[in-house]
Amino acid sequence: MKTYCEFTFDAAHSVAPYSGLHGHTFIVKLTFGGPVDEVYGWPVNLYDVENYIEEIKGKHGSGLDHGNLDLNPAIGVASLENVTKYVWKLVKDRFPGLEEVELKRGMSGSQEGCIYRGDDGAAGRSLAA
């Protein structure tokens, strides 16, 4: 069984020398697997995940939401890939059943994104549509 949830956050970033500081709405999809609860049938309680998401989004720029990703030393250069790996680390530490993080930026129909499954050798595919 794979269970997923999505969330968005608005943040600024730059990827020098290719882009200066600008903002996006980032869309994140978290997919969970592993042993399921015998009663509820789920590998993870999304209620717990949603509470944690609010925590990592933070308030007033203290987290991902409405922040400048460039200022977070744990991310490094705020490319799609580095932000995706950062989200992976945040969530995997709290929910070991995390199996995949997909991060997208831009508007539907012209989005770019990548997928990370915890293995640097895994193909992170660009979703330039």
CA atoms within 13 A on the CB side of 119: 4
Residues 8-37 that bind ligand LPXRUNBV (CB under 6 A): 15, 18-19, 22, 24
Phi, psi values for residue 80, rounded to 5° = -50, -45
In the complex, the smallest distance separating the C-beta of residue 111 from ligand LPXRUNBV, rounded to whole angstroms, is 8
For residue 110, give Cα distances in angstroms to 101, 104, 126, 129: 20, 10, 12, 5
Residues 104-123 that bind ligand LPXRUNBV (CB under 6 A): 105-106, 112
Handedness of CA 84, 112, 32, 42 (dihedral sign): positive
> Is 45 among the residues that bind ligand LPXRUNBV (CB under 6 A)?
no
Contacts of residue 117, Cβ cutoff 8 Å, sequence gap at least 6: 99, 100
> Is 60 among the residues that bind ligand LPXRUNBV (CB under 6 A)?
no
Among 75, 80, 98, 101, binds ligand LPXRUNBV (CB under 6 A): 80
Q: Which residues of this chain interact with ligand LPXRUNBV, rule CB under 6 A?
A: 15, 18-19, 22, 24, 79-81, 105-106, 112, 126
